[in-house]
């Protein structure tokens, strides 16, 4: 199993749309893939569930999020086990660790999105787990078992699900925050990628990520020097690697530049590799060739604007290329969707190209 985080310190770069369609592309290429929604806004989850379905999941969990032990003990064992084995949010899974109690032996089933593709839904309340990471962080240096479990449990769940369901890849959607939840998520996955818009804000986002990575790695290096081998076994062997950037959903100007971007956008886009070299330490990207560092993942495959296509994908809870085939298209959408059927369907090729390039970069981690 390889774990991947999609992350940028700047919001509005299409991170969630990219994550969802990457998951579908990997699944269609034959790889069992699990999506995990660790953005409190839970927009990735809404690609798989309508608000009412999500509300029903959250409602069942409410008492457990307030006090896991009390809610568990008030239920007959059989009823609790039925709740625990059903589709549950990531916060429900993490709540026993947050409350310092035993994790249920039953692994909650993932939401089934498609052949080879599952999802662990998000939940707005995940911020309380982040608070617990912060309050226990210093205890990790002393080897406190609960503190170590709190910091490593997200990674541990990825590994458990991969083992039980034979997932090849786990793809995590994150918030734009540089807070301690993302510190733990990014630092303990195998690799992360940065979706960018060709603008000044994405350049600053890369700067912020690079500066944060230095501090995060310093903290984890300290942990690795202080803990015993037995306690270090809960952590991944290697600190996270940078997989590259992609320019996503930018406005297309055919023939205006090498990447069919406006002159202003192209100028910003061409600054991205230099910004990466300056702010993201070479140790995080040593597996990448110079060409890979210079070029977006998938080149121009997912670079240009999809206009309202992602909105339709989320509305019908299916990837863009499957929207024209939906049997439940609403009357007011039919003419627009069917009139642009080829445009919807053509997005599949681009995301497959993107996914294959990303896999190539992941495979290169093996030799480093």
Strands (DSSP E) along the chain, which ranges?
A: 2-6, 33-37, 111-114, 117-120, 169-173, 191-196, 241-247
What is the reported pLDDT for 368?
Answer: 54
Q: State yes or no: pLDDT of 367 exceeds 60.
A: no
Over residues 165-175, the pLDDT tens digits come to 999 999 999 99
* β-pairing verdict for 241-247 and 191-196: parallel
* Protein fold of 2-367: Rossmann fold (3.40.50)
Q: State yes or no: pLDDT of 11 exceeds 80.
A: no
Mean pLDDT calculated for residue range 74-85:
96
What is the reported pLDDT for 42?
Answer: 94
Mean pLDDT calculated for residue range 133-159:
98
Distance from C-alpha of 77 to C-alpha of 57, rounded to nearest angstrom: 19
Tokens of 205: 């986002």
Q: State yes or no: pLDDT of 71 exceeds 60.
A: yes
Number of H helices, E strands in the chain: 16, 7
Task: Tell me the pLDDT band of 190, cut-offs 50, 70 and 90.
Answer: very high
Q: State yes or no: pLDDT of 249 exceeds 90.
A: no
Tokens of 309: 């296509």
* β-pairing verdict for 2-6 and 191-196: parallel
The alpha carbons of the chain give a radius of gyration, in whole angstroms, of: 21
Mean pLDDT calculated for residue range 17-29:
97
Q: Where are the domains of the chain?
A: 2-367
Going from the C-alpha of 17 to that of each of 12, 48, 117, 128, the distances in angstroms are 10, 12, 15, 26
Which of residues 251 and 232 earns the better pLDDT score? 232
Mean pLDDT calculated for residue range 292-306:
93
Q: Which helix (H) or strand (E) holds 299?
A: none
What is the reported pLDDT for 256?
Answer: 82
Distance from C-alpha of 298 to C-alpha of 218, rounded to nearest angstrom: 32
User: Which percentage of the chain shows pLDDT scores above 70?
Assistant: 99
Q: Helices (DSSP H) in 102-199: which residue ranges?
A: 127-141, 145-165, 180-188
∠ at Cα 155 (151, 92), nearest 5°? 80
Task: Tell me the pLDDT band of 10, cut-offs 50, 70 and 90.
Answer: confident
Over residues 326-351, the pLDDT tens digits come to 999 999 999 999 999 999 999 999 99
Q: State yes or no: pLDDT of 103 exceeds 90.
A: yes
Written as one string, the DSSP assignment of 318-340 is S-GGGGGG-TT--HHHHHHHHHT
Mean pLDDT calculated for residue range 143-147:
98
Which of residues 280 and 251 earns the better pLDDT score? 280
Average pLDDT, the chain: 95
What is the reported pLDDT for 257?
Answer: 86
CA 14, chain centre distance (Å)? 12
What is the reported pLDDT for 333?
Answer: 93
Structure-derived torsion over alpha carbons of residues 100, 105, 109, 110, reported in degrees to the nearest 10: 40
């Amino acid at each position: 199993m390889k774990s991947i985080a999609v992350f940028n310190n700047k919001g509005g770069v299409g991170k969630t749309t990219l994550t969802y369609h990457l998951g579908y592309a990997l699944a269609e290429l034959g790889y069992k893939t699990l999506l995990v929604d660790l953005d409190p806004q839970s927009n990735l989850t809404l690609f798989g569930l309508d608000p009412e379905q999500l509300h029903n999941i959250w409602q069942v969990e409410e008492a457990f999020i307030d006090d896991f032990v009390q809610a568990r003990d008030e239920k007959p064992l059989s009823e609790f086990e039925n709740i625990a084995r059903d589709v549950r949010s990531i916060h429900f899974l993490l709540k026993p660790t947050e409350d310092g109690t035993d994790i249920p032996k039953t692994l909650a089933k993932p939401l089934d999105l498609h052949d080879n593709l599952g999802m662990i839904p998000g939940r707005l309340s995940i911020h309380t787990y982040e608070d617990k990471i912060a309050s226990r962080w210093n205890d990790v240096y002393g080897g406190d078992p609960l503190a170590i479990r709190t910091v490593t449990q997200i990674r541990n769940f990825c590994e458990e699900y991969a083992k039980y369901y034979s997932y090849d890849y786990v793809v995590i959607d994150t918030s734009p925050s540089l807070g301690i939840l993302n510190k733990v998520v990014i630092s303990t996955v195998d690799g992360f990628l940065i979706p960018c818009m060709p603008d000044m804000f994405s350049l600053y986002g890369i700067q912020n990520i690079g500066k944060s990575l230095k501090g995060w790695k310093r903290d984890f290096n300290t942990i690795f020097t202080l803990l015993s081998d037995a306690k270090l076994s809960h952590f991944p062997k290697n600190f996270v690697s940078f997989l590259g950037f992609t320019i996503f959903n930018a406005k297309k100007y055919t023939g205006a530049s090498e990447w069919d971007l406006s002159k202003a956008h192209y100028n910003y886009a061409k600054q991205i590799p230099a910004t990466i070299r300056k702010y993201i330490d070479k140790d995080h990207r040593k597996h990448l060739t110079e060409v890979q560092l210079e070029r977006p993942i998938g080149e121009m495959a997912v670079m240009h604007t999809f206009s309202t296509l992602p909105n339709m994908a989320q509305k019908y809870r299916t990837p863009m290329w499957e929207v024209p085939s939906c049997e439940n298209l609403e009357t007011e959408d039919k003419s627009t969707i069917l009139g642009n059927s080829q445009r919807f369907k053509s997005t599949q090729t681009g995301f497959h190209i993107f996914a294959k390039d990303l896999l190539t970069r992941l495979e290169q981690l093996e030799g480093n």
